[in-house]
Structure formats: C-alpha cells, structure tokens
C-alpha cells in the first residue's frame, strides 16, 4: 500500500493509522507533504511502522526541507514508477 501526501496536516497521521492498519505500507511525500521528511517531523511517521518513506526531490529543493537520512529521495521518473508500475494500492491523502 502506497500513501501519497501532498500536504502537511495532523489528519495525515490519523488517516495513515486508520486506512493502513497492519498492512505493509509506504508513503510518498510531495509538495507541502515534504515537510514530513525533515528530521524534526519524521518521528511522527516512524511510529506508524512504514516500510519506506519516499520524498520527491523537487519538493525538497522547492521548500528547502532538510531531509532525514531515513527518507528515500526520488525524482519524477521514480515517482511515476512507484505510483503506476510497482503494483501498490495507491491512496492519496
């Protein structure tokens, strides 16, 4: 299961917890959602047991977000592959 977050909101955490349950899940952060990739915010996602946290490179540079070492930085090609080709069930938050 791949969650896609393009905003930074308390609702994101509760939706991930509710919709993801005990399933294997990852998140792709873009736009304002890239703030969750920062060292200070990443802890909020860690408690959810995510397999991977991906963040769109353009969103990081656009926002000036200092990315956590735990995040996997991806470009547009990799983002498309995650969403379209990897067989994930995709849920946009």
User: Along the 93 residues of the chain, how does pLDDT read in single tens digits?
Assistant: 899 999 888 788 888 888 888 888 999 999 999 998 988 887 788 888 889 999 999 998 877 878 888 899 999 999 999 888 776 788 887
Residue pair 58/33 in contact by the 8 Å Cβ criterion = no
CATH classification (class only), 2-92 = alpha beta
Six-digit token pair at 66?
Answer: 């200092």
Q: How far apart are alpha carbons 9 and 1 in whole angstroms?
A: 20
| pLDDT value for 74 | 95
Start-to-end CA span in the chain (Å):
13
Answering whether pTM is above 0.85, one says yes
| pLDDT value for 13 | 84
């Amino acid at each position: 299961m791949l969650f896609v977050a393009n905003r930074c909101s308390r609702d994101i955490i509760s939706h991930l917890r509710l919709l993801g349950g005990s399933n294997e899940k990852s998140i792709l952060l873009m736009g304002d959602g890239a703030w969750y990739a920062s060292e200070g915010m990443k802890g909020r996602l860690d408690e959810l047991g995510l397999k991977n946290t991906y963040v769109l490179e353009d969103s990081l540079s656009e926002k000036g977000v200092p990315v956590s070492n735990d995040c996997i930085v991806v470009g547009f090609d990799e983002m498309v592959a995650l969403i379209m080709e990897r067989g994930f069930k995709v849920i946009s938050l």
